Amino acid sequence: MPVNAISSAGLSEASKDTSPQLRQDDFIKLFMSQLKAQDPLEPVNNQDFLAQMAQFSLLESSRVTNNELSSIKNLVESTHGTGLIGKMVETSTINGDVLGEVLSVGFTQTGVIVTIKAKDEDNNEFYINDLPMSQIKKIYNDNKE
């Protein structure tokens, strides 16, 4: 007997979860539902209730801390990136190591990127665009020719 495959096209919009994280409002709704549905002869233990509240509070403060640390990381990367303008840096390419001057810095959702002006063996200038800062191997304080 053949069995037809189930596709996501048959799912209702309500069953599709667009936000995998529970928020504070979701927790409160869930908790209130739990309190309404509890057995009056065996109510929720106060210690269990306090433990749940403390755990949620810790999770919420951890989420806020992570957001703040992410903001600080972006600020540090931005400051570091702008400090590279005009400096000589070294990076690796498929043709070997390249030494070049940082001309510009860009900011993307994935991090800071730079544009480098370098010269090949024949003294012809070329540019490396959108180079992530993580691919810079060395930074020279003075112009290295």
End-to-end CA distance of the chain: 75
Contacts of residue 62, defined as CB under 8 A and 6 or more positions apart, other chains included, come to none
* Whether 72 and 121 share a structural domain: no
Identify whether 51 is part of a domain. yes
Residues 34 and 74 in one domain: yes
pTM: predicted TM-score of the whole model, two decimal places:
0.53
Asked if the structure places residue 66 within a domain, the reply is yes
- In this structure, are 76 and 90 located in the same domain? no
pLDDT in tens, 39-73: 777 776 777 777 877 887 888 888 889 989 988 98
**Mean pLDDT confidence for 15-20:** 50
Do both 36 and 72 map to the same domain? Answer: yes
Helix 24-37 vs helix 46-83: angle between axes, to the nearest 10 degrees?
170
Q: Tell whether 99 is covered by a domain.
A: yes
For residues 85 and 136, give the distance between their C-alpha atoms in angstroms, rounded to a whole number: 13
Query: Is the pLDDT assigned to residue 101 strictly greater than 90?
Result: yes
Q: Is the domain of 63 the same as that of 89?
A: no
For residue 132, list its beta bridge partners: 113
Look at the chain and report how many structural domains it folds into.
2
Lowest mean pLDDT among 12-16, 38-42, 60-64, 83-87: 12-16
Domain containing 107 equals 85-140
What's residue 32's pLDDT? 78
Q: Is residue 74 part of a domain?
A: yes
126 lies in a domain?
yes
- The total of other beta-carbon atoms located within 10 Å of residue 80's CB is 13
